[in-house]
Structure 1
Amino acid sequence: MNPFEMVVVIVLIVSIAGVMRAKYGVVRTGRGKEEIFVGHQRSDADLERLQSEMRQLKDRIAVLERIVTDGDRNRGLALEREIEALRTDKEFRS
């Protein structure tokens, strides 16, 4: 490997490391010290909204799992009822 190729490889490695640091929020605070930057603190209302959305998504996943794993022979009619229930539930929450 000639010196030019070595310089290119070193610059490439340093660039990739910089991108990875930015992606994961690592910030240097002093000589040799690194901290992970979490970002701005979320308000209680924002946190509650996110938790509510998470609950709704978990409920929907549970319904979908039940629909898929249900061993009922009349699956078509039951599936139609479950989908309609999800639609009306979504309309009430919006």
Structure 2
Amino acid sequence: MDNMDLIKVIAPIATILGMLAIGGWIFTTWLRVKNGYPLENSWGKAVYPRTSDEAMERVKLIGQENAQLRAELGSVKDRLAVIERIVTDEGHRLSHEIEALRRPSN
């Protein structure tokens, strides 16, 4: 068997194996990203996004705003509960019916 014949046999097999390796790497990277695992560089160290002081300050401000909005939402829920109690109160309904009877009908 000639060297050229050997290359003709091995080259397609090596190409297919190389493509499978690249496809497997892409698939495992996609799985890591999808499931929240940190990505790794070629030396096996985790690659984390770099954060600047400005980005960290923005995160703090958003966290503070989130806390304020949660507190405001809690007070709105409390007020709504009081209003619901007033509206569904039998005494309130009874007073409306009495007022309706006092009005002259046309």
TM-score normalised to structure 2 length: 0.41
Query: Which structure is richer in relative contact order (CA contacts within 8 A, separation 6 or more)?
Result: 1
TM-score normalised to structure 1 length: 0.45
Greater percentage in helix: 2
Greater percentage in strand: 1
Larger of the two Rg values belongs to structure: 2
